[in-house]
Amino acid sequence: MMQFFQFTEEQEMLRKAVREFVEAEVAPKAAAWDESDTCPMELFPIMGELGINGIFVPEEFGGAGMGHTERAICIEEIARHSAGLAIALMTHHLGMAAILDFGTQEQKAKYLPELCAGTKLGGLAVTEPGGGSDFSGQKTKAEFVCGQWVLNGRKCFITNYHADVNVITTVTGQDEKGRNQLTAFIVEKGTPGFNVGRHENKLGLRGSNTGDLNINDVKVGEENVLGKVGAGAKIGMACISEVGRAGMAAICVGILRGCVEEGVKFANERILYGKPIAKLQAIQFEIANIRTDYEASKLLLYSATGKKDAKIPAATDFSLAKYFSSEAAVRSSKRAMDLMGGYGVINEYPVGRFLRDALASIPSGGTSHIQQLIIAGSTLSDFKA
Amino acid sequence: MNIIVCIKPVPDPQYYDKVSIDPATKRITREGIPTIINPVDKNGIEAALQLKKTYGGKVTVITMAPPNAVENLREALAMGADEAVLLSDRAFGGADTLATSYTLAKGIEKIGDYDVIFCGAESADGATAQVASQLGEWLTIPHLWNVFSLEPQDDKALHVKTKVENGSMEWAVKLPCLLGVARELNKPRFISAMGIIKAKNKPIAIWGKVDLAVEDERLGLTGSPTKAGEIFTPDLKRKGEILTGTLEEMVDTVIERLRTAGVNVQATTKACDCCEGGGQK
């Protein structure tokens, strides 16, 4: 018999625990982080103690030893109040996932414990001024010279560009067909020639740091190569498709829950013509649409994370979840604003921030058009008569 | 140092609008309403975990509640407690504070070895604030209530401050003792993912009437001398009335009504600033 969708007792307890943390430490400050575009780095050590940073990392490397469903729960709960902090966390996870899934035992032992503890911040830098989705067209190069790798180039729109431990993709050669071969490196903050560049002033997802990385004659040893030479594309794509998009979908589910809760609260409290506007059908239609977007996004997300935890390939599932939930978050936050009338555009209410965060979520981890291409490719191949 | 913490599952404040009082039994209807650990009981758990960190030993949480309180106990274990005991039996149902404290005392006697017992000063639902002190009396150990500061002197005594009206009192209290703690005592820790995983394998004992050395007539409703009186919703209807007559007559009527209702309205002949010597009543 098919079972209905249900979280385990442990997952429910985790959600409750993270919610308590978020309501105490995140919710009261989220609007201020958004306004000042400040990343609350002081929370990373606390999230380390709570196991949120290393939620999917095995205990031997300082993690909680849970899975990607639990990771999505943590991100969703944080994004309910601060999508900005949530994307900083989700990108931290992205760097950790690259090291966990493709690193050597030494690399895992060297980097993961501090990343789990939150005493160091992680990140993954792929996108370049020429674009993020033109993966193999990137220009940052690495050459092996006199026993060490020398990296040169520029990365842009990098979330957590101030990270301590960065996984960076570079071009290290061409294959027999002349296509770029990519290699991933672990580069630590402070390595000579490795500098942060301009800080981007974003529309949404503020409270996470986004900017450039300038890479000028950065020299690293062979021990900094992540995975094998030439495996960079695989590493980058695997992490972005199954960890990055999972994170973005979880952020959007968090935003959507915010739309449901804030919309319902307002509809019940706002009195018009002597009764709460929740009694008006026009408002009920908006509430129903927002709720449906939220529930559908949640199902897509947690169905995908369930597959990932069961070691079933889920790249298309995460594309479906990311595509649907980010577009849903945009239209639902607009709907929530609509039902609030003039209050919707007042920054004292969070729904305007939800809309900006939702809009900024569309390009993160691949735009909706890219997700559509992935979904279409898989569909055209899987649904042949 | 072995520490016991009494906790109580109380209705989750998010669902307060669904809480009602059964007019027949005059008890709070709790069925289907999710519970949380009484907030100030978490301060007790935190205090216990801090003492354990300094002196070692074991932290046991105990509650008297229906079977689903296992969830609340699991949460306490995830915070860091080592063991849990659930006192659950139909015979315990309907207990007032006296019967509750008696049953808890019997459970604690069965646990046996303890140095400190923590309780929250009061519960978020009943808010009688009686159980801590009653429990101390049943166990015949020193007990203090409304503790907002706690410093161990050594593993034999504690230096404790309690809130009293308009001030505080300082105490040196020998172990074993019982402390009813206030929210100001500390900031309870958040539950970690690692704590949740560890809690899975920590023991929860479930004891019923037959497991405890109890006198039946002291249990539950039978052992509860507290009887709820009449339960009613006060009539708060308001009635509007438009007075007629001259301004002076209407003011006289309002003042008369206020005086009749018991409001002390003072007459004064002092002239006001806006009219010529008319004066105000």
Task: Return the CATH number at B123.
Answer: 3.40.50.620
Contacts of A66 in chain B (CB under 8 A): 193, 197
Q: Which domains does chain A have, with CATH numbers?
A: 9-121 (1.10.540.10), 124-232 (2.40.110.10), 234-382 (1.20.140.10)
**In the predicted model, is pLDDT for residue B123 greater than 60?**
yes
Predicted confidence at residue A251, as pLDDT, reads 98
Q: Do B196 and A20 touch (CB under 8 A)?
A: no
pLDDT number for residue B281: 43
Out of A24, A46, A52, name the one closest to residue B193 (CB).
A52
Q: Which residue blocks in A192-314 are alpha helix, DSSP H?
A: 232-239, 245-269, 281-309
Do residues B252 and B142 both lie within one domain?
A: no
On whether residue B192 sits in a domain, the answer given is yes
B78 chain-A contacts, CB cut-off 8 A: 13, 17
Q: Which residue among B183, B218, B253 closes a domain?
A: B218
Is the per-residue pLDDT at B3 higher than 80?
yes
pLDDT at B270: 58
Residue A254, pLDDT score: 98
Residue B275 and residue B209 share a domain: no
State whether B164 and B68 are in the same domain: yes
pLDDT-based confidence at B272, cuts 50/70/90? Answer: low
**Cα angle for residues B57, B58, B60 (degrees, 5° grid):** 155
Element at B54 (helix H, strand E): helix B39-55
Chain A residues touching residue B195 (CB < 8 angstroms): 17, 51
Would B224 be classed as within a structural domain? no
Ranges assigned E (strand) in B80-186: 83-87, 116-120, 143-152, 157-164, 167-174, 177-181
**Tally of domains within chain B:** 2
* B165, B90: one domain: yes
Q: Do A64 and B197 touch (CB under 8 A)?
A: yes
Q: Do residues A130 and A138 make contact, with C-beta atoms less than 8 angstroms apart?
A: yes
For residue range B192-226, list pLDDT tens digits in order.
999 999 999 999 999 999 999 999 999 999 999 99
- Could you tell me which chain B residue has the CA closest to the CA of A50? B192
> Which are the contacts of B236, defined by CB distance < 8 A and separation ≥ 6?
none
The values of phi and psi at residue A162, to 5°, are -95, 15
Residue of A8, A10, A75 to mutate, interface with B, max B Cβ within 10 Å = A10
Q: Which positions 186-245 of B are in contact with A (Cβ < 8 Å)? A: 190-197, 199-200
Tell me whether residue B40 is in a domain.
yes
Question: At how many degrees (to 10) do helices A351-361 and A245-269 cross?
Answer: 160
Q: Which of B218, B252, B273 is the last residue of a domain?
A: B218
pLDDT bin (cut points 50, 70, 90) of residue B276 is low
User: Do B168 and B197 fall within a single domain?
Assistant: yes
Cross-chain Cβ contact B196/A55 below 8 Å: no
Q: Record the pTM.
A: 0.89
Collect all residues of chain A within an 8 Å Cβ-Cβ radius of residue B192. Answer: 17, 49-51, 64
Phi, psi of B240 (to 5 degrees): -90, 145
Q: Identify the pLDDT of residue A1.
A: 73
Cis status, amide bond into A129, omega within 30 of 0: no
B230 falls within a domain: no
Instruction: Tell me the mean pLDDT per 10 residues along chain A, length 385.
Output: 85 96 97 96 98 97 97 98 98 98 97 98 93 80 96 96 97 91 97 96 96 97 96 94 97 98 96 94 97 98 96 96 98 96 94 98 94 96 85
- The alpha carbon torsion through A61, A187, A231, A316 (nearest 10 deg) reads 70
The closest of A58, A68, A55, A65 to A317, measured between CA atoms, is A68
Within a domain: B223: no
Least Cα distance to B109 among B26, B19, B207, B223 occurs for B207
B12 contacts in chain A (CB < 8 Å): none
| B275 — pLDDT class (breaks 50, 70, 90) | low
Are B196 and A10 in contact (CB < 8 Å)?
A: yes
Q: Which residues contact A178 (CB under 8 A, 6 or more apart)?
A: none
- Say if residue B31's pLDDT is above 80: no
Inter-chain residue contact A50 with B78, CB threshold 8 Å: no
- Select from B169, B189, B218 the last residue of a domain: B218
Q: How confident is the prediction for chain B on average, in pLDDT?
A: 91
B70 plus B167 within the same structural domain: yes
Q: Which domain holds residue B111?
A: 2-218
Q: What is the pLDDT of residues B51-72, one digit of tens each?
A: 999 999 999 999 999 999 999 9
